[in-house]
Structure 1
């Protein structure tokens, strides 16, 4: 009888160990394809963006500002990934995407959708005092090995509307709870155009776990994530974030990646990357 009890506990421990698998997530504002960016234009830096993503090889990453041609370029170059996303201007290919890329060898896609950050989220629309249409794309993924499921929400908040940014935070958290009756773990990422002390970030930090705080001393990189193509100046403005649902993960590492190529950043934002045990 003792042998059976011992075997039972061994199997239980082994099963728990199998479920606790580290996964890496990255959020990266690509800077839209603007020919007026001169030496920082997309054509001059797109290969560097791909090289950076391949170097750090996140399991899942979300992009902001990418236009259709940029997203298609990443899709062709990053053959280990598939992506979902739509343009915010027409719900198809026009305008900036909040695309989510995931490793096809590791995950199955269960469902996905995009909604607008507005009072009418199911319609193409501009919300509250926002200057532009803004969207959030989310995926439900299943780990092929462990069968664990989790949500990834990727968004880009407005750069002007204060009310829009606060209400966008509340809307997204409402969608997280509305579409997740099974209480799967959830990751929220994106360029929120806000620094940590603002009300919208404080709200999200109350209802979700902010990964930099959860990582404790296991953080690296500069303080900020927006460099504005000022390649030789300190990066201090942190406006890009990754959150996880409370109690659903341990953050092993948090990093703001400040790699340069020939003393230039690949984008005007630095990617944020975390390693999490979901």
Structure 2
């Protein structure tokens, strides 16, 4: 299936859990080194993180030497509130353009959309491979946990934005925490135009069925709400990574989703 003109690259989506002082045994300070270790161990070309606050994003950036990142805080468009950051291997890719929009009827300004509880964003970039000059769009988002209408409308808005931007019909990655189960309306909306890497992976997906663990180390992980969607790209491997802390606690309340991609010539 791999032709000599195809190339593979790896992408990861990871809700790293915001630094919440009430987490106690699951505090950011006990988890942060293990989160960085995951990135170093699997070494994806692109990492989309959700929930990271500015100091978390900066910590990861300071430790990961080979990555730069794009992203802003959702509460002010600069650094306040949670980011949907995209880290990228800066030796391999350069950013051609990037931006963030809000999941609302007024996407160009800081806003809360529809029945959502909080500001929600999508950060994206157009990346160019430094050697072969191939370009790829990468989108990273985090849908609202409360607003049912907001999740559907967010799906529609992101697809609209993808269609507006992607005038060269190039490869697209959309990843994130969608707070939506596989059989839900937001998921079906996205699947009208993009493919779920879990469904199209050439090799059988690895790891637990779900991605949300709620920091419960003993329960089976069934709830799949984190996804990597693709267009004009094939998926070779798909994995929900269930690495743990030394005491068997989870590293975050979500598992990272990792996909090996085949970018078509």
* Post-superposition CA distance 1:75-119 (Å, at most 9, x none): 001111000000000000000000000001110110100000000
2:70 counterpart residue number: 84
Following the alignment from structure 2 to structure 1, what is the Cα–Cα distance between the partners of residues 58 and 225?
A: 26
Following the alignment from structure 2 to structure 1, what is the Cα–Cα distance between the partners of residues 153 and 55?
A: 31
Following the alignment from structure 1 to structure 2, what is the Cα–Cα distance between the partners of residues 213 and 236?
A: 16
Alignment map for 1:99-178 (pairs within 5 Å)? 99-178=85-164
Q: 2:10–2:46: 8 Å Cα contact kept in structure 1? A: yes
1:6 counterpart residue number: none
The number of equivalent residue pairs is: 261
Unpaired segments of 5 or more residues in structure 1? 1-15
Q: 1:149–1:184: 8 Å Cα contact kept in structure 2? A: yes
Following the alignment from structure 2 to structure 1, what is the Cα–Cα distance between the partners of residues 3 and 192?
A: 29
1:232 CA displacement: 1.4
1:13 counterpart residue number: none
Q: 1:127–1:164: 8 Å Cα contact kept in structure 2? A: yes
1:206 CA displacement: 2.0
Following the alignment from structure 1 to structure 2, what is the Cα–Cα distance between the partners of residues 25 and 161?
A: 28
1:19 CA displacement: 4.2
Task: State the TM-score, normalized to the length of structure 1.
Answer: 0.92
1:273 counterpart residue number: 258
* Post-superposition CA distance 1:50-80 (Å, at most 9, x none): 0111111111010000000000000001111
Following the alignment from structure 1 to structure 2, what is the Cα–Cα distance between the partners of residues 83 and 19?
A: 28
2:32 counterpart residue number: 46
Instruction: Answer 1 or 2: which has greater helix percent.
Output: 1
1:252 counterpart residue number: 236
Following the alignment from structure 1 to structure 2, what is the Cα–Cα distance between the partners of residues 277 and 80?
A: 22
1:184 counterpart residue number: 170
Q: 1:33–1:42: 8 Å Cα contact kept in structure 2? A: yes
* RMSD between aligned residues: 1.1
Alignment CA distance shift 1:254-1:270 (3 Å): same
Structure index of larger Rg: 1
Alignment map for 1:224-235 (pairs within 5 Å)? 224-235=210-221
Following TM superposition, where does structure 1 have runs of at least 4 consecutive aligned residues deviating by more than 2 angstroms?
Answer: 16-19
* Post-superposition CA distance 1:169-209 (Å, at most 9, x none): 00000000001111111100000001100011011112101
Q: 1:218–1:252: 8 Å Cα contact kept in structure 2? A: no
Corresponding position: 1:60 with 2:80: no
